[in-house]
Amino acid sequence: MRVLKMAAAASLLALGLAGCASRSGDQTIAAYCANPSRAGFDICKVNSDLLSTRSDVARNRTDIEATRQIANGASASAALAQQTAQQALSKASEGFNCTTRTLRRAQVGSCDAGYVLTSCTQSRYTTSSGGPTVVRDIDDKQCRFATRVLEMKVRCCQVGAAGYSTISVPPPPPAPERPRPVS
């Protein structure tokens, strides 16, 4: 009797499974859910969500590939720019010579022959000597301050193969002696 009950249960289970399997027949889920009356079934809702997720993933994959191509192009451009910058730097540093002259108690700063003036700054001043003053004129050869300054730094550069001579800096003029009171 027990065997009979088990056989009956197994046959009922087989019939139930066969009924579920044949519910949609040989249709795919997409064909089954194509019928508008079945759009509210859970399996059709899940299928719809799955299809939209697949299309989102495909779109993101193409977006990622496009972004990767842009990044690879930018990386190649950056590498080329770096290489060009290194070549330009090596060419620029060949025969490039700069010196800085320090001039005291002068109004005009200039460079030796063959050098180009690149900067001129007042480097030291005191309030008793008039404080900072204004640069009145500056070009490739010289710079001129409005008044005589206590100290200025003149930067001169020379480009080319002859750019390695030294600049002789003249000694500062002797300081004038102050008169001593006679007692």
What the block records as the tokens of 40 is 């509210």
DSSP the chain: -HHHHHHHHHHHHHHHHHHHHTTSTT--HHHHHTSGGGTTSHHHHHHHHHHHHHHHHHHHHHHHHHHHHHHHHHHHHHHHHHHHHHHHHHHHHTTEEEEEEEEEEEEEEE--TT-EEEEEEEEE--TTTT-S--EEEE-SSEEEEEEEEEEEEEEEEEESTTTTPPPPPPPPPPPPPPPPPP-
**Residue 174: how many CB atoms within 10 A of its CB?**
6
Residue 122 to residues 39, 103, 170, Cα–Cα distance (Å): 85, 10, 18
pLDDT of residue 165: 43
**Are residues 103 and 167 in contact, defined by beta-carbon separation less than 8 angstroms?**
no
Q: With pLDDT > 90 as the criterion, what percentage of the chain qualifies?
A: 5
Q: How many CB atoms lie within 10 A of CB 62?
A: 10
pLDDT for position 108: 92
What is the model's pTM? 0.37
Confidence (pLDDT) at 148: 84
pLDDT for the residue 163: 47
User: Which domains, and CATH codes, for the chain?
Assistant: 27-93 (no CATH), 96-159 (2.60.40.4230)
Digit-by-digit pLDDT tens for the chain (183 residues) are 665 666 556 565 555 545 555 455 667 888 888 888 888 888 888 888 888 888 888 888 888 888 888 988 889 888 888 988 888 777 766 667 888 999 988 889 998 888 899 889 888 877 766 677 788 888 888 899 888 888 899 999 886 655 444 444 456 667 667 666 775
pLDDT of residue 124: 82
Q: What is the pLDDT of residues 137-176, one digit of tens each?
A: 888 888 998 888 888 999 998 866 554 444 444 566 676 6
